[in-house]
Structure 1
């Protein structure tokens, strides 16, 4: 997740803005707890679409791809606190609490957490640190706050232990279905392999069997075909879609588009 400010690098982040923004993100390695201070937070994945407002919390599962929309609301800017629940820390808590999960978690990958006095108190205790960067939150204090958050979640929602302490590797999932839903994310092939429960070699081998071509070529062809549809059929501007389709820059997109279709995406008229 991309955020303007890292309070504790890689662990606690703070985002503040006064204009709507969309971000395509890959939740690659860690479970994540999001605390919504103000504004509207919307997460959309291939399986779920969840929104939350002021005072709400969302637990986001690891190994997902999704799009986040950050929207200020009338009378309030957008503020959110993001806490990364890294696996090494969760393993330590599982040992301390003598928690052992025997089965893989199969519930919803993202869970809205209802507020209560304990969690709201925790929520309020984190806000001063992120709003006042001069008052530095040390790494040790930050880890304590993260540990406190996890243990309060377990205290108020014991059933979340299956979500938090599932350390198993991803199952091998339907490759065709996953790629058709997530081709527009600009992530390395290694991550696509990880998300589908495969080694990189296994991913490339299975991909060739399913799609009849190498992954990089298929991704390029699929993204360009979607670009053609959006520009020609829905009158979208190239500058408005290239990032959403997984291209790193407008120039790269324009070059690839022209090579494929014989004209720049900014040119008017139907592509023959």
Structure 2
């Protein structure tokens, strides 16, 4: 069985589809490609490649089909599983530091052999047999930590984000479509403290500032970069085109499409 013939599977607890990464997860692409962005860098994952996506990060990713096909293998490493794993295994921390939300995993025969070993555990419905999920998650994690020991510093850090520079964070992450509670959590504040600090720094409410900042960027992209509203509204944090178009015209007195 070729590595590119692996079926899609999703192993672990369900995760929210929003742009806040609540749990670490491993992803391997058998077919297609994926583009990712975390506010700092753009990433590209191609067929045959895999990476870890880190929890407590804002990240956006989109898939691109290859001949109308997109096959992926996803393993969620939630905190409950990781704490149980540590009771059975011990690992030394490597003092590894990185801001990246997407961490590439080296190509190795151990990864390939593991992925190929999944095939017998698929049920008739194409899902992973529940009885073997945790055993396969544990096996994969042992492989990952052997290949890249520095992952222990990321996976076994169970702390919550500390208080950071709010202005710098918001200027870098305003495009992400998440609630104020998420922004507050990621900057190390309660929601009330986040709103209070935000008002002191920006002299307006978070919701109003986010809308204005996104619209400013939209006008720049349309006027200067000649991009179409239909191509940018989602990347700027707007939920639908009609909302974006209404807000743009209200702010600037002209429809974005007319620019």
TM-score category, normalised to shorter length: 0.7 to 0.9
Q: Which residue is 1:18 aligned to?
A: none
Structure-2 change in CA distance of 1:246 and 1:133 (3 Å) = farther
1:115 and 1:231, CA in 2 relative to 1: closer, same or farther beyond 3 A?
A: closer
Which structure has greater strand proportion? 1
Q: Which residues of 2 match residues 52-201 of structure 1 at below 5 A? A: 52-72=45-65, 77-99=69-91, 106-109=97-100, 110-126=102-118, 134-201=125-192
Partner of 1:37: 30
Shift of 1:90: 0.7
Partner of 1:50: 43
For 1:158, what is the secondary structure of its paired residue?
A: coil
- 8 Å Cα contact 2:121/2:132 also seen in 1: no
Moved more, 155-164 or 185-194: 155-164
Q: Distance in 2 between matches of 1:133 and 1:44?
A: 36
**Corresponding position of 2:205:** 214
Contact 1:55/1:120 (<8 A) preserved: no
Which residue is equivalent to 2:243? Answer: 252
Q: 2:19 aligns with which of 11, 23, 26?
A: 26
Give the aligned CA root-mean-square deviation in angstroms. Answer: 2.9
Stretches of structure 2 lacking an aligned partner (at least 5 in a row) = 1-7
User: How high is the TM-score relative to the length of structure 2?
Assistant: 0.83
Stretch deviating more after TM superposition (180-189 or 197-206): 197-206
Aligned length: 250
Q: Who is 2:3 aligned against? A: none
Note closer, same or farther for the CA distance 1:76–1:231 as it changes in structure 2 (3 Å cut).
closer
Superposed CA deviations along residues 130-174 of structure 1, whole A, max 9, x for unmatched, are 7x8624323332232222211221233333211110101112222
> Do the aligned partners of 2:21 and 2:54 also contact (CA within 8 Å) in 1?
no
Write out per-residue CA displacement over residues 53-102 of structure 1, whole angstroms, 9 at most, x where no aligned residue. 332221121122223243345x794432222211111111112214586x
Question: Which stretch shifts more, 224-233 or 185-194?
Answer: 224-233
1 CA distance for matches of 2:236 and 2:209? Answer: 13
For structure 1, list consecutive stretches of 5 or more residues without a partner in the other structure: 13-23
